[in-house]
Protein backbone atom coordinates (compact mmCIF):
# COMPACT_ATOMS: atom_id res chain seq x y z
CA UNK A 1 0.00 0.00 0.00
CA UNK A 2 1.23 3.52 -0.85
CA UNK A 3 0.51 4.67 2.71
CA UNK A 4 2.92 2.10 4.10
CA UNK A 5 5.72 3.42 1.93
CA UNK A 6 5.26 6.90 3.34
CA UNK A 7 5.39 5.87 6.98
CA UNK A 8 8.75 5.79 8.71
CA UNK A 9 10.42 6.21 12.05
CA UNK A 10 8.68 3.59 14.17
CA UNK A 11 11.89 2.00 15.34
CA UNK A 12 15.04 3.95 16.11
CA UNK A 13 18.46 3.04 17.44
CA UNK A 14 18.24 6.01 19.81
CA UNK A 15 15.95 6.20 22.86
CA UNK A 16 12.39 7.20 22.04
CA UNK A 17 11.16 9.81 24.56
CA UNK A 18 7.87 9.29 26.32
CA UNK A 19 6.60 11.00 29.42
CA UNK A 20 5.55 7.80 31.15
CA UNK A 21 7.47 5.06 29.42
CA UNK A 22 10.97 4.95 28.00
CA UNK A 23 11.96 2.58 25.21
CA UNK A 24 15.54 1.59 24.58
CA UNK A 25 16.18 -0.33 21.37
CA UNK A 26 19.24 -2.53 20.85
CA UNK A 27 19.63 -4.04 17.39
CA UNK A 28 21.59 -7.27 16.85
CA UNK A 29 24.97 -7.02 15.20
CA UNK A 30 24.88 -8.34 11.63
CA UNK A 31 26.88 -11.43 10.86
CA UNK A 32 29.54 -11.29 8.12
CA UNK A 33 27.18 -13.19 5.84
CA UNK A 34 24.30 -10.78 6.41
CA UNK A 35 22.91 -9.00 3.38
CA UNK A 36 23.12 -5.24 3.09
CA UNK A 37 19.38 -4.97 3.79
CA UNK A 38 19.82 -6.86 7.06
CA UNK A 39 22.86 -4.80 8.03
CA UNK A 40 20.85 -1.62 7.65
CA UNK A 41 17.94 -2.94 9.71
CA UNK A 42 18.18 -0.06 12.17
CA UNK A 43 17.61 2.41 9.35
CA UNK A 44 14.75 0.46 7.74
CA UNK A 45 11.65 2.39 6.74
CA UNK A 46 9.46 -0.72 6.62
CA UNK A 47 6.65 -1.36 9.09
CA UNK A 48 7.77 -2.00 12.65
CA UNK A 49 5.49 -2.85 15.54
CA UNK A 50 5.94 -2.23 19.26
CA UNK A 51 4.07 -3.92 22.05
CA UNK A 52 4.72 -2.77 25.57
CA UNK A 53 2.92 -2.55 28.86
CA UNK A 54 3.48 0.73 30.72
CA UNK A 55 4.41 0.65 34.39
CA UNK A 56 6.64 -2.38 33.89
CA UNK A 57 10.22 -3.26 33.14
CA UNK A 58 10.69 -6.13 30.74
CA UNK A 59 12.16 -7.15 27.41
CA UNK A 60 9.88 -7.04 24.41
CA UNK A 61 10.44 -7.54 20.70
CA UNK A 62 10.57 -5.03 17.86
CA UNK A 63 10.03 -6.86 14.58
CA UNK A 64 10.51 -5.58 11.05
CA UNK A 65 7.87 -7.26 8.89
CA UNK A 66 10.24 -7.36 5.93
CA UNK A 67 12.86 -9.25 7.92
CA UNK A 68 13.14 -12.07 10.41
CA UNK A 69 15.56 -10.25 12.70
CA UNK A 70 14.45 -8.98 16.06
CA UNK A 71 15.66 -6.21 18.33
CA UNK A 72 15.57 -6.21 22.10
CA UNK A 73 13.62 -3.34 23.62
CA UNK A 74 13.87 -2.48 27.30
CA UNK A 75 10.76 -0.80 28.67
CA UNK A 76 10.86 1.08 31.94
CA UNK A 77 8.41 3.41 33.62
CA UNK A 78 9.19 5.97 36.27
CA UNK A 79 5.79 7.58 36.69
CA UNK A 80 2.61 6.02 37.99
CA UNK A 81 -0.61 6.50 36.05
CA UNK A 82 -2.86 8.90 37.97
CA UNK A 83 -5.88 8.75 35.67
CA UNK A 84 -7.68 5.74 37.11
CA UNK A 85 -6.40 3.16 34.66
CA UNK A 86 -7.39 5.07 31.50
CA UNK A 87 -5.09 4.00 28.68
CA UNK A 88 -2.95 6.46 26.73
CA UNK A 89 -4.61 7.56 23.53
CA UNK A 90 -3.05 7.50 20.07
CA UNK A 91 -3.27 10.81 18.22
CA UNK A 92 -2.96 11.81 14.56
CA UNK A 93 -2.26 15.49 13.91
CA UNK A 94 -3.03 17.21 10.58
CA UNK A 95 -1.13 20.34 9.47
CA UNK A 96 -0.68 22.55 6.43
CA UNK A 97 1.75 25.17 7.71
CA UNK A 98 4.30 25.88 10.41
CA UNK A 99 2.63 23.60 12.92
CA UNK A 100 3.02 25.63 16.12
CA UNK A 101 -0.09 24.03 17.63
CA UNK A 102 1.25 20.62 16.58
CA UNK A 103 4.51 21.35 18.41
CA UNK A 104 2.72 22.37 21.60
CA UNK A 105 0.59 19.21 21.46
CA UNK A 106 3.61 16.98 20.88
CA UNK A 107 5.57 18.63 23.69
CA UNK A 108 2.61 18.25 26.05
CA UNK A 109 2.47 14.54 25.24
CA UNK A 110 6.17 14.17 25.99
CA UNK A 111 6.04 16.05 29.29
CA UNK A 112 3.03 14.10 30.53
CA UNK A 113 0.39 16.84 30.38
CA UNK A 114 -1.56 14.87 27.78
CA UNK A 115 -2.33 11.19 28.35
CA UNK A 116 -1.58 10.37 24.75
CA UNK A 117 1.05 10.12 22.03
CA UNK A 118 1.27 11.57 18.54
CA UNK A 119 1.74 8.46 16.38
CA UNK A 120 1.56 10.08 12.93
CA UNK A 121 1.54 13.48 11.27
CA UNK A 122 -0.64 14.08 8.21
CA UNK A 123 0.51 17.04 6.12
CA UNK A 124 -1.05 18.58 3.03
CA UNK A 125 2.45 19.61 1.90
CA UNK A 126 5.69 17.69 2.37
CA UNK A 127 7.71 20.87 2.77
CA UNK A 128 5.62 22.62 5.44
CA UNK A 129 7.12 23.55 8.79
CA UNK A 130 5.01 21.00 10.65
CA UNK A 131 6.38 18.18 8.48
CA UNK A 132 9.94 19.42 9.04
CA UNK A 133 9.39 19.28 12.81
CA UNK A 134 7.96 15.77 12.57
CA UNK A 135 11.04 14.60 10.66
CA UNK A 136 13.31 16.12 13.33
CA UNK A 137 11.43 14.19 16.01
CA UNK A 138 11.34 10.92 14.07
CA UNK A 139 7.57 10.91 13.67
CA UNK A 140 6.04 9.16 10.64
CA UNK A 141 4.49 11.44 8.03
CA UNK A 142 1.64 10.94 5.57
CA UNK A 143 0.85 13.35 2.76
CA UNK A 144 -2.84 13.93 2.10
CA UNK A 145 -4.49 14.61 -0.26
CA UNK A 146 -2.91 13.58 -3.53
CA UNK A 147 -2.63 16.58 -5.87
CA UNK A 148 -0.60 17.68 -8.88
CA UNK A 149 1.79 19.44 -6.53
CA UNK A 150 1.84 16.48 -4.11
CA UNK A 151 1.79 13.34 -6.31
CA UNK A 152 2.89 11.19 -3.36
CA UNK A 153 -0.29 11.99 -1.48
CA UNK A 154 -2.64 9.15 -0.62
CA UNK A 155 -6.33 8.55 -1.21
CA UNK A 156 -9.08 8.97 1.42
CA UNK A 157 -9.47 5.18 1.62
CA UNK A 158 -5.74 4.69 2.24
CA UNK A 159 -5.78 7.48 4.81
CA UNK A 160 -8.57 5.83 6.80
CA UNK A 161 -6.97 2.39 6.51
CA UNK A 162 -3.61 3.70 7.71
CA UNK A 163 -5.03 5.53 10.71
CA UNK A 164 -7.02 2.45 11.66
CA UNK A 165 -3.91 0.33 11.27
CA UNK A 166 -2.12 2.64 13.68
CA UNK A 167 -5.06 2.33 16.08
CA UNK A 168 -5.52 6.10 16.15
CA UNK A 169 -8.10 7.23 18.71
CA UNK A 170 -8.42 10.92 17.85
CA UNK A 171 -7.65 13.13 14.87
CA UNK A 172 -6.49 16.68 15.65
CA UNK A 173 -6.50 19.39 12.98
CA UNK A 174 -3.86 22.01 13.74
CA UNK A 175 -3.86 24.52 10.92
CA UNK A 176 -4.95 22.01 8.29
CA UNK A 177 -6.55 23.92 5.41
CA UNK A 178 -8.05 21.09 3.36
CA UNK A 179 -11.61 19.86 3.72
CA UNK A 180 -11.71 16.58 5.62
CA UNK A 181 -13.11 13.74 3.47
CA UNK A 182 -16.43 12.26 4.46
CA UNK A 183 -14.79 8.82 4.68
CA UNK A 184 -12.65 10.00 7.58
CA UNK A 185 -15.54 11.71 9.35
CA UNK A 186 -17.61 8.53 9.12
CA UNK A 187 -14.70 6.43 10.38
CA UNK A 188 -14.08 8.72 13.38
CA UNK A 189 -17.43 10.05 14.62
CA UNK A 190 -17.08 12.57 17.45
CA UNK A 191 -13.32 11.98 17.35
CA UNK A 192 -12.00 14.73 15.07
CA UNK A 193 -11.18 18.16 16.52
CA UNK A 194 -10.24 21.43 14.86
CA UNK A 195 -9.01 24.77 16.21
CA UNK A 196 -10.09 28.02 14.57
CA UNK A 197 -8.70 31.50 15.40
CA UNK A 198 -12.04 33.25 15.98
CA UNK A 199 -15.10 32.88 18.18
CA UNK A 200 -17.23 30.72 15.93
CA UNK A 201 -19.70 30.95 14.34
CA UNK A 202 -18.30 34.44 13.64
CA UNK A 203 -15.57 34.73 11.00
CA UNK A 204 -15.65 31.07 10.05
CA UNK A 205 -16.26 29.04 6.94
CA UNK A 206 -14.45 28.51 3.68
CA UNK A 207 -11.81 31.15 3.01
CA UNK A 208 -11.57 32.26 6.65
CA UNK A 209 -8.16 31.13 7.86
CA UNK A 210 -4.92 32.57 9.19
CA UNK A 211 -4.36 36.31 8.92
CA UNK A 212 -7.55 36.71 6.88
CA UNK A 213 -9.56 35.99 10.02
CA UNK A 214 -7.77 38.60 12.15
CA UNK A 215 -8.04 41.27 9.45
CA UNK A 216 -11.78 40.60 9.19
CA UNK A 217 -12.20 40.81 12.97
CA UNK A 218 -10.47 44.22 13.15
CA UNK A 219 -12.35 45.54 10.12
CA UNK A 220 -15.69 44.55 11.67
CA UNK A 221 -15.10 46.56 14.82
CA UNK A 222 -15.56 43.49 17.04
CA UNK A 223 -14.28 44.07 20.56
CA UNK A 224 -13.58 40.42 21.30
CA UNK A 225 -12.22 37.42 19.45
CA UNK A 226 -10.36 34.25 20.40
CA UNK A 227 -9.83 30.60 19.52
CA UNK A 228 -12.58 28.01 19.15
CA UNK A 229 -12.14 24.25 19.36
CA UNK A 230 -14.91 22.26 17.71
CA UNK A 231 -15.72 18.80 16.48
CA UNK A 232 -15.45 18.39 12.71
CA UNK A 233 -18.31 17.63 10.34
CA UNK A 234 -18.55 17.65 6.54
CA UNK A 235 -18.30 21.44 6.25
CA UNK A 236 -15.83 24.16 7.22
CA UNK A 237 -16.12 25.31 10.87
CA UNK A 238 -19.71 24.18 11.46
CA UNK A 239 -19.20 21.27 13.88
CA UNK A 240 -20.25 21.33 17.52
CA UNK A 241 -18.25 23.81 19.62
CA UNK A 242 -16.35 22.26 22.52
CA UNK A 243 -14.33 25.17 23.96
CA UNK A 244 -13.60 28.86 23.43
CA UNK A 245 -11.37 31.49 24.99
CA UNK A 246 -11.97 35.22 24.78
CA UNK A 247 -9.22 37.61 23.64
CA UNK A 248 -9.92 41.37 23.67
CA UNK A 249 -9.37 43.33 20.47
CA UNK A 250 -7.45 46.48 21.33
CA UNK A 251 -8.23 49.81 19.68
CA UNK A 252 -4.90 50.09 17.87
CA UNK A 253 -4.34 46.38 17.15
CA UNK A 254 -2.79 45.31 13.89
CA UNK A 255 -3.77 41.94 12.46
CA UNK A 256 -0.30 40.63 13.33
CA UNK A 257 -0.50 41.78 16.95
CA UNK A 258 -3.95 40.31 17.40
CA UNK A 259 -2.89 37.05 15.74
CA UNK A 260 0.04 36.68 18.14
CA UNK A 261 -2.19 37.07 21.22
CA UNK A 262 -4.80 34.66 19.86
CA UNK A 263 -2.12 32.10 19.00
CA UNK A 264 -0.82 32.07 22.57
CA UNK A 265 -4.31 31.22 23.76
CA UNK A 266 -4.67 28.59 21.03
CA UNK A 267 -1.62 26.72 22.32
CA UNK A 268 -2.82 26.53 25.91
CA UNK A 269 -6.50 25.92 25.13
CA UNK A 270 -5.85 23.11 22.65
CA UNK A 271 -3.61 21.29 25.12
CA UNK A 272 -6.22 21.65 27.87
CA UNK A 273 -8.97 20.30 25.65
CA UNK A 274 -6.90 17.38 24.30
CA UNK A 275 -5.99 16.53 27.89
CA UNK A 276 -9.70 16.31 28.74
CA UNK A 277 -10.42 14.28 25.60
CA UNK A 278 -7.67 11.75 26.33
CA UNK A 279 -8.84 11.46 29.94
CA UNK A 280 -12.38 10.73 28.67
CA UNK A 281 -13.92 13.80 30.29
CA UNK A 282 -16.08 14.87 27.35
CA UNK A 283 -19.82 14.51 28.03
CA UNK A 284 -22.51 14.92 25.38
CA UNK A 285 -25.71 16.58 26.54
CA UNK A 286 -29.07 15.28 25.36
CA UNK A 287 -29.28 18.19 22.91
CA UNK A 288 -26.02 17.11 21.26
CA UNK A 289 -23.77 19.78 22.81
CA UNK A 290 -20.40 18.51 24.10
CA UNK A 291 -19.19 19.78 27.50
CA UNK A 292 -16.03 19.14 29.51
CA UNK A 293 -16.17 17.60 32.98
CA UNK A 294 -13.77 19.16 35.48
CA UNK A 295 -10.93 16.92 36.63
CA UNK A 296 -10.81 18.52 40.06
CA UNK A 297 -14.59 18.51 40.60
CA UNK A 298 -16.47 15.87 38.56
CA UNK A 299 -19.76 17.67 39.27
CA UNK A 300 -18.65 20.79 37.41
CA UNK A 301 -18.70 21.23 33.62
CA UNK A 302 -17.56 23.86 31.16
Q: Is residue 32 part of a domain?
A: no
Give the end-to-end CA distance of the chain in Å, rounded to a whole number: 43
Q: Is residue 99 part of a domain?
A: yes
| Dihedral sign from CA coordinates of 132, 135, 136, 137 | positive
Taking the complete model, does pTM exceed 0.75, yes or no?
Answer: no
Domain that holds residue 198: 89-292
How many whole angstroms separate alpha carbon 19 and alpha carbon 200? 34
Half-sphere exposure of 133 (CA within 13 A, CB side): 23
Q: Is residue 35 part of a domain?
A: no
Q: Is residue 42 part of a domain?
A: no
Q: Choosing from 106, 196, 214, 230, which is the catalytic residue?
A: 196
Q: Is residue 15 part of a domain?
A: no
| CA angle 11–51–172, rounded 5-degree value | 75
What is the pLDDT tens value at each position of the chain, 302 positions in all? 555 555 544 444 444 444 444 333 343 444 444 444 333 333 333 333 333 334 333 333 344 444 434 433 333 333 334 457 899 999 999 999 999 999 999 999 999 999 999 999 999 999 999 999 999 999 999 999 999 999 999 999 999 999 999 999 999 999 999 999 999 999 999 999 999 999 999 999 998 999 999 999 999 999 999 999 999 999 999 999 999 999 999 999 999 999 999 999 999 999 999 999 999 999 999 999 999 999 999 999 99
Number of domains into which the chain is organized = 1
CATH number at residue 174: 3.40.50.170
Residue 208 bears catalytic tag: no
Could you write out the DSSP letters of every residue in 92-145?
EEEESS--HHHHHHHHHHHTTSSSEEEEEEEESSTTSHHHHHHHHTT--EEE-S
Q: What is the DSSP letter of 293?
A: B
Amino acid sequence: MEAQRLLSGFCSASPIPNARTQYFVRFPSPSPSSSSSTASFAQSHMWVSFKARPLSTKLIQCRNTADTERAEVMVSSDKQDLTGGIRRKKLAVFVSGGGSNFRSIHEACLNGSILGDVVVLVASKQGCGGADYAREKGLPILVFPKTKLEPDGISPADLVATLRGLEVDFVLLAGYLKLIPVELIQAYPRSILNIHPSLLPAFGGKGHYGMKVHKAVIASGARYTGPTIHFVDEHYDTGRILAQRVVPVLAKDTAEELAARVLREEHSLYVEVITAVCEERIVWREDGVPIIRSKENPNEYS
